[in-house]
Amino acid sequence: MTSCEALSPVEPLARFILQKAYFRPSDNSVKHNAFMPNKNGETSVYRIQGLADEEVYQIGREHVASILGRTLLGRADVLTSDVLELSLMVEPEPSPHPLHANIVSWPDEKSERKLLAMELAARAQLHLLQTS
């Protein structure tokens, strides 16, 4: 897979988790804040089709956590179809990594963005890194 290939609806996307406020360990769920768009109206994700877990976490450590000076805690995975069903789009953006993409087409109204982020979080599968 290259960064220019169109995304398949069944393609998994990983949203890297860098804050404890983005998940609930009590029920292993993702909070909506994990998917809220940034000031540019984008939510950064990575295309992880066919990658082993360690390869995915290596991308998260090198291209997300280290750049932001944070520790990678885990990831929240959703399918591209989960995004598309909410009338959002996924656009490949090969910077800072060839498998990087953004969830875009968020509505202008904050309450609407929150509802969509809540729906993505409800559909997401949380994968936490084991801490020693």
Q: What is the DSSP string of 60-93?
A: HIIIIIHHHT----EEEEEEHHHHHTTT-EEEE-
Check if the beta carbon of residue 43 is closer than 8 Å to that of residue 102. yes
- Over the chain, what is the mean pLDDT? 93
Number of domains in the chain: 1
Q: What global pTM score does this model have?
A: 0.92
Tell me whether residue 2 is in a domain.
no
Query: Which residue has better confidence, 7 or 12?
Result: 12
Domain of 117, in residue numbers: 12-128
Tell me whether residue 98 is in a domain.
yes
Tell me whether residue 63 is in a domain.
yes
Give the model's pLDDT for residue 5.
64
**For residue 114, is pLDDT > 60?**
yes
Nearest to 2 by CA among 111, 92, 85, 124: 92
